[in-house]
Amino acid sequence: MSKEKSYVSEAVMRRMPKYYRYLSDMEKSGVERVSSKELSQRMGLTASQIRQDFNCFGGFGQQGYGYNVSELRHEIHKILGLHNKYDIVIIGAGNLGQALANYTGFEKDGFLAKALFDINPRLIGMSIRGIPIYDIDEMESFVRNNNIHIAAICTPKEKAQEAAERLIRSGVRGIWNFAAVDISAPNHVIVENVHLSDSLYTLSFRMSDD
């Protein structure tokens, strides 16, 4: 990995997690080496696309020799920053907030949910898989005192921007937003909007005959 992140296009960045996923699966199945042609066939990309993508990071592997799956996976793991450990809070402990807290898969990648926050007195004091649900009024001090890096926003959309602003003021640097609204944030804060409905509408569009 040699080039700055600012050289990497949005499209390349969006493909990196997919490479990581495919390579992780290949490594688990015992595949040791893969050519860009084979990888392209598995992933539905062209071989030249793959080579171009990897060249953004200085290129991996040798011409005619293919890629060492474990090494390539390891490099992409680093590029994705997955060697870092992140503590997360979840804002809104309803259906989605609880589902995120219940899912153990993120922990395996180093994303550890430390607390949920809600306004509903019936939820406050409960816990999900041992992760406590606190009153939203405790959010700022918790984020500051526990050096929280990432917040997942699972509130109704009307409350999402306000929650984001409070979190950012408290030091959060990454917002993983599930509410159906685009969060605005200063440049030093990274926002990933996960709009499941956009994806569903795209599915509907692609299925529709008109």
User: x/- string (CB under 6 A) for ligand NAI, residues 7-26?
Assistant: --------------------
Please give the residues from 98 up to 117 whose contact with ligand NAI meets the rule CB under 6 A.
117
| Binding of residue 93 to ligand NAI (CB under 6 A) | yes
Q: Which of 43, 46, 111, 36 is nearest to 80 (CA)?
A: 111
- Sequence-distant (6+) residues with CB within 8 A of 67 are 33, 34, 35, 36, 39, 60, 61
> Looking at beta carbons only, is 79 or 101 nearer to ligand NAI?
101
CA dihedral (169, 139, 85, 192) positive or negative: negative
Q: Which of residues 174-203 bind ligand NAI (CB under 6 A)?
A: 178-180, 196
Name the closest residue to ligand NAI (Cβ). Answer: 94
| Among 88, 154, 172, 183, interactor with ligand NAI by CB under 6 A | 154
Dihedrals φ, ψ of 134, to 5°?
Answer: -110, 165
| Residue 176: CB minimum distance to ligand NAI, A | 11
Using CB under 6 A as the binding rule, whether residue 75 contacts ligand NAI is answered as: no
Supply the minimum distance, in Å, between the C-beta of residue 148 and ligand NAI: 15
Does position 95 interact with ligand NAI (CB under 6 A)? The reply is: yes
**Residue 127, token pair as written in the block:** 């816990």
Quick one: tokens of 125?
Answer: 């004091």
Near ligand NAI in 116-135, by CB under 6 A: 117-120, 123
SS3 52: helix
- Least Cβ distance, residue 109 to ligand NAI (angstroms): 21
Q: Which residues on adjacent β-strands are paired with residue 204?
A: none
* CB 135 within 8 Å of CB 124: yes
Q: Applying CB under 6 A, which of residues 159, 170, 189, 191 lies at the interface with ligand NAI?
A: 159
Does position 161 bind ligand NAI by CB under 6 A? Answer: no
Written as one letter, the residue type at 159 is K
Distance, in Å, from the CA atom of 151 to the CA atom of 135, rounded to the nearest integer, reads 15
Nearest distance from C-beta of residue 147 to ligand NAI, angstroms:
21
Which residue matches tokens 């939203």? 136
- Chain residues binding ligand NAI by CB under 6 A are 91-97, 117-120, 123, 136, 154-157, 159, 163, 178-180, 196
